[in-house]
Structures are given as structure tokens and as C-alpha cells.
């Protein structure tokens, strides 16, 4: 046998013994109430000098910059990390990803995530010691998954806060957008957690694929739309996305100083004016929406109601309302008068039903959120909010995560784009009322034979004329439905 083969064999043996010993030694010190997991990574190409290998997982809040989750260097291509878990994790599936960390990085730790398009790695925890051996490949530069349109980023100060904080704003411009063509104007959708909307290279747990979904919808006739993503404040995310509402026991563990009102003001009075000034937008209310998920769903609900004169619709996915006390929804809505239907946004409420890989009862446990779709809807309709303006969806296979929301997002947009197309609803508020009949009567003398396009709006009885019969039919329907 050649000398080099002998040396390689020895190295392999030593490495194997090290991994076995590391697992064995951990088990020796583990108590009967814990289990251990040893994560071993082989990085065939090595890593750049001065960098570290770490893990982001649902076990550590998906925070790969947590020093406790940095792997130990064994040699140039092998890394190992052993963690102790409570025995309650036995039989449960965990998720994780390997990441590459640069010591002076100011990002969220996901800039250099392992290559692969299959999503998170998964493992079911067993009793005693668990050993996972992975082969990992890292990109030394972020690999963008942006496939449609163009993404621009802006750093903006947040004058609503006195601590000098700033935020990255991500502006997605659809294919064909031309800044020089001021004649073509675009609707604008403002969304929270901007890191996760368009590109897995910037996300901290996955992406919504907003660029792909909107491009597909617009190719089928959906309104041309710009999406403005506001990055979350990382450690301040819970506080910034939370209004000053009463907290549940769970909420008190995660929300220490809610400043949601200031964050909302930042979007409405700082971000929106900038976007309307620097991009070809339709700034009017009827072309403006707000959307988000989890705590972003909570904030979207709050902003759609509080700033109903600014936003025509709200996309409210998996709102984490269980971080608040049971009475906050009613207390919040009691401050508003919904009988004035001039500014009532369309709302789309969504939730899944599965706990998934989240800990039961945690802020990310979708099973705790499901009921709030109906709770919010009932609270609104009991206050005379038009039911036609509220869309709901429960996904039996949905959990609390980006994959679920990426599927719900285009469905929400399609529903929202169809709201208000009710024959006879000439003022477009999603409800038949006496003002519709009055509007038709007013125009009887002005319009005779009308186009096919307008028949569905004002020609209630379908005879191709706008006449008193249409007004009478609407008044009769209103009386029967008791919508007045």
C-alpha cells in the first residue's frame, strides 16, 4: 500500500473516531430528560478563511447568527455541532439549514445559506443520541431567485423613532416598467417582512414568490402593480408589528414595547409619499393595498382599519392574534363607525390549521390562529361591515410558513380584484343600497342604449337600457335583503 493511501486511511479513521466519541461523550453527560443531536457537515470545497459554519433552525428561532449554533471546525472540510434538547422533542420533526457566517456581516445571517432548492432539511428526533451527517455546499455570493421584474432597495430613516433607526425598503418593479414613461401609472401594494417577499437570498426563512405570482396574474389581466416591501426590524420585529393592545401571557414573552402605531405611521407618512414621488404610481386610495402574514397580518389588519382612507384593501394572512388578550379585537373595532361606507377596505382573511414544526402554543402555531378568521369577520359584520367586502379562506394543509403564504397570496389578489362586481352596485362599495337606485335614476335621462361593458353595472334587468325598471329592481332587492 502506498504511503499516501495509508495516511488518508489514518485520517479517515481518526475523523470517524472523533465523531463517534463526540456523540458518545455527549450522551454520557445527557440526563434522562434530554436527548442530543450531533450535526456533522462535510463541506467538500471548504469555506473562505475567517468564516464560520452555523445552523438556522426552528429550534433556535431560525437565527443562524446565534453563537450557540456555530459548528466546531474539525478540519478544513468537516464541522460538528452537538445540542441538547428536552425529551419532549422525541418523535417530532425538526427543520434546519446550514449557513456560512462572515464575522463582520450586518445582515440577518441568511445571506450565505447552503445551496439547494429543496427547502429545509428535516429530521425526526429519536431517543438518546442522534447523529446527522450532511454534505453541504455554500455559495460565496448570495444566489438570487428573483426571476421577474426588477428589485430596487432604498435605505430610509424612520423619523417616528428617536433612536435613529432606519429600514431597508425593497421596491419591486414589474417587467416593462419604465421610469421615463410617466403616462403609465401603477397600483401599489405595501407589504411587511420585505426580506421574504421576492428572493430567497435575502429571506430569513423562505420567500413568498411575489414576483412570480404577480407576473403571472398581470399576464392574465391583473392590474399592473408595484410591490413595496418594508424589511422587518429583526430583534424589533414583534414590537414594531404590534399595536399597543393588551397582551396575552404568550404575547408578554415576545412583545416588550409595542410601537406598531409609529411603524404604521412610517409606512403611511414616510414611505408612501417617497414612493409616490419617485415612481410612476397611482397614489389614490383605490389603487393602494397593505398586506402581510403572522405579526405582519396583525399589522395589516390594524392599518387597513386605522388608515381606511389610504388603503383600499388588506391582505391578512395567519394573523397571530393569540399574542393578545381575548377582548382586543372588539375594543379596537369599537372605536370605528362602519355605517359610513365611503371608506371601507376590502379584507382577505386567511389561515391554515396545522401546527407543523412549530411548538404547540407558540406564536408560530397555526392551529392557534385558525379561529381568528371567523372571529375577525364576525366582529366586523356584527358592526354592519358589509360581508361582501370580507373574503375568507381556511387551508386544511396550511401551516405557519412562507410556502403556505406563497400559495395563498395569488388567491387573495384574485378575490380582491373581483370584489364589487355586483350587478346594480353602481357606486362599487360591495353592497346594494338606495344610493345605487338613486344613481341609476339620475342617469336615466342622460344615457339611452348602453355598451355591453356597462350592462353588468347598471342594467339590472338586462334589457340593454338604463331605465326606471332597473332602479325599481334594485330597491326591491334591497328591501328583500334588508341591506338598508
Three-class SS state of 427: coil
Which pLDDT score is estimated for 424?
61
Q: Which grid coordinates belong to 276?
A: 409616490
Lowest-pLDDT choice from 215-224, 248-257, 461-470: 461-470
Which pLDDT score is estimated for 1?
43
Q: Which residues of 184-202 are buried (b: 16+ CB within 10 A; e: fewer)?
A: ebbbbbbbbbbbbbbbbbb
Return the H-helix or E-strand segment holding 168: strand 166-173
Name residues whose C-beta falls within 8 Å of residue 87's C-beta, 6 or more positions apart in sequence.
32, 33, 34, 35, 127
Q: For the beta carbon of residue 104, count every other beta carbon within 10 angstroms.
A: 5
Name residues whose C-beta falls within 8 Å of residue 214's C-beta, 6 or more positions apart in sequence.
148, 149, 172, 174, 222, 225, 227, 410, 413
Q: How far is CA 112 from CA 165, 355, 452, in A?
A: 25, 28, 55
Which pLDDT score is estimated for 284?
96
Which pLDDT score is estimated for 120?
87
Pairing of strands 150-157, 187-192: unpaired
Mean predicted confidence (pLDDT) in 447-470: 59
Percentage of the chain lying above the pLDDT 90 cut: 62
Which pLDDT score is estimated for 118?
57
Query: pLDDT tens digits, residue range 338-353?
Result: 987 778 999 999 999 9
**Contact by Cβ (8 Å): 196, 205:** yes
Helices 468-481, 434-443: inter-axial angle, 10-degree rounding: 180
CA distance 69 to 94: 15
CA distance 410 to 387: 21
Q: Which CATH number fits domain 150-418: 3.40.50.1820, 2.40.10.120, 3.90.180.10, 3.40.50.150?
A: 3.40.50.1820
Q: Which residues of 256-268 are buried (b: 16+ CB within 10 A; e: fewer)?
A: eebbbebbbbbbb
Distance of CA 273 to the CA centre of its chain: 23
Which pLDDT score is estimated for 122?
93
* Largest Cα–Cα separation, the chain: 104
Q: Which CATH number fits domain 3-136: 2.30.300.10, 2.40.100.10, 2.60.40.10, 3.40.50.300?
A: 2.60.40.10
DSSP 411-422: HHHHHHHHTT--
User: Is the pLDDT reported for residue 250 higher than 90?
Assistant: yes
Lowest-pLDDT choice from 96-105, 183-192, 321-330, 390-399: 96-105
Q: Judge whether 3-136 and 150-418 match in fold.
A: no
Mean predicted confidence (pLDDT) in 120-135: 94
Most confident of 1-5, 73-77, 99-103, 279-283: 279-283
Mean predicted confidence (pLDDT) in 143-160: 91
Residue spans per domain, the chain: 3-136, 150-418, 434-481
Q: How far is CA 104 from CA 108, 382, 405, 480, in A?
A: 12, 53, 32, 68
Which pLDDT score is estimated for 445?
52
User: Is the pLDDT reported for residue 40 higher than 80?
Assistant: yes
Mean predicted confidence (pLDDT) in 202-217: 85
Query: pLDDT tens digits, residue range 78-101?
Result: 999 999 999 999 999 999 999 998
pLDDT averaged over every residue in the chain: 84
* pLDDT band, very low/low/confident/very high, at 327 (cuts 50, 70, 90): very high
> Higher pLDDT residue, 240 or 207?
240
Distance of CA 183 to the CA centre of its chain: 32
Query: pLDDT tens digits, residue range 2-23?
Result: 444 444 444 444 444 444 444 4
CA distance 143 to 149: 16
CA distance 484 to 481: 8
Most confident of 160-174, 345-359, 450-464: 160-174
Query: pLDDT tens digits, residue range 400-412?
Result: 988 899 999 999 9
Query: pLDDT tens digits, residue range 460-474?
Result: 666 666 666 777 777
Name residues whose C-beta falls within 8 Å of residue 343's C-beta, 6 or more positions apart in sequence.
285, 308, 309
Amino acid at each position: 500500500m502506498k504511503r499516501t493511501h495509508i495516511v488518508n486511511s489514518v485520517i479517515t479513521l481518526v475523523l470517524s473516531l472523533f465523531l463517534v466519541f463526540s456523540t458518545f461523550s455527549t450522551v454520557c453527560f445527557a440526563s434522562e430528560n434530554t436527548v442530543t443531536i450531533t450535526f456533522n457537515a462535510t463541506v467538500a470545497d471548504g469555506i473562505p478563511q475567517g468564516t464560520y459554519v452555523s445552523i438556522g433552525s426552528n429550534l433556535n428561532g431560525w437565527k443562524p447568527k446565534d453563537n450557540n449554533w456555530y459548528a466546531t471546525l474539525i478540519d478544513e472540510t468537516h464541522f460538528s455541532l452537538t445540542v441538547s434538547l428536552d425529551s419532549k422533542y422525541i418523535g417530532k420533526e425538526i427543520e434546519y439549514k446550514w449557513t456560512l457566517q462572515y464575522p463582520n456581516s450586518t445582515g440577518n445571517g441568511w445571506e450565505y445559506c447552503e445551496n439547494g432548492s429543496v427547502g429545509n432539511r428535516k429530521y425526526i428526533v429519536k431517543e438518546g443520541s442522534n447523529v446527522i451527517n450532511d454534505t453541504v455546499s455554500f455559495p460565496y455570493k448570495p444566489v438570487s431567485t428573483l426571476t421577474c421584474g426588477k428589485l430596487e432597495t432604498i435605505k430610509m430613516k424612520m423619523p417616528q423613532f428617536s433612536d435613529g433607526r432606519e429600514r431597508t425598503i425593497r421596491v419591486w418593479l414589474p417587467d416593462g416598467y419604465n421610469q421615463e414613461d410617466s403616462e403609465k401609472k401603477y397600483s401599489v401594494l405595501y407589504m411587511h417582512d420585505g426580506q421574504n417577499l421576492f428572493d430567497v437570498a435575502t429571506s430569513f426563512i423562505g420567500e413568498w414568490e411575489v414576483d412570480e405570482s404577480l407576473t403571472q396574474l398581470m399576464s392574465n389581466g391583473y392590474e399592473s402593480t408595484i410591490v413595496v416591501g418594508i424589511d422587518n426590524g429583526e430583534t424589533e420585529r414583534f414590537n414594531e408589528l404590534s399595536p399597543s393592545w393588551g397582551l396575552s401571557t404568550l404575547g408578554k414573552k415576545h412583545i416588550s414595547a409595542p410601537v406598531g402605531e409609529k411603524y404604521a405611521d412610517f409606512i403611511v407618512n414616510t414611505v408612501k409619499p417617497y414612493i409616490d414621488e419617485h415612481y410612476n404610481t397611482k397614489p389614490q386610495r383605490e389603487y393602494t393595498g397593505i398586506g402581510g402574514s403572522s405579526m405582519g397580518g396583525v399589522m395589516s389588519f390594524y392599518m387597513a382599519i386605522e388608515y381606511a382612507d389610504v388603503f383600499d384593501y388588506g391582505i391578512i394572512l395567519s394573523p397571530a392574534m393569540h399574542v393578545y388578550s381575548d377582548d382586543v379585537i372588539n375594543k379596537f373595532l369599537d372605536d370605528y363607525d362602519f355605517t359610513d361606507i365611503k371608506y371601507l377596505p376590502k379584507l382577505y382573511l386567511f389561515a391554515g390549521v396545522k401546527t407543523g414544526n412549530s411548538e404547540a402554543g407558540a406564536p408560530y402555531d397555526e392551529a392557534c390562529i385558525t379561529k381568528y378568521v371567523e372571529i375577525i369577520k364576525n366582529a366586523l359584520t356584527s358592526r354592519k361591515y358589509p360581508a361582501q367586502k370580507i373574503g375568507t379562506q381556511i387551508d386544511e394543509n396550511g401551516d405557519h410558513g412562507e410556502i403556505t403564504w406563497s400559495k395563498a397570496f395569488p388567491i387573495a389578489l384574485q378575490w380582491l380584484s373581483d370584489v364589487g362586481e355586483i350587478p346594480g352596485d353602481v357606486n362599487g362599495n360591495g353592497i346594494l343600497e338606495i344610493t345605487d337606485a338613486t344613481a341609476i335614476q339620475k342617469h336615466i335621462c342622460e344615457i339611452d342604449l348602453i355598451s355591453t361593458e356597462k350592462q353588468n353595472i347598471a342594467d339590472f334587468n338586462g334589457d340593454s337600457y338604463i331605465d326606471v325598471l332597473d332602479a325599481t329592481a334594485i330597491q326591491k332587492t334591497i328591501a328583500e335583503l334588508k341591506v338598508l
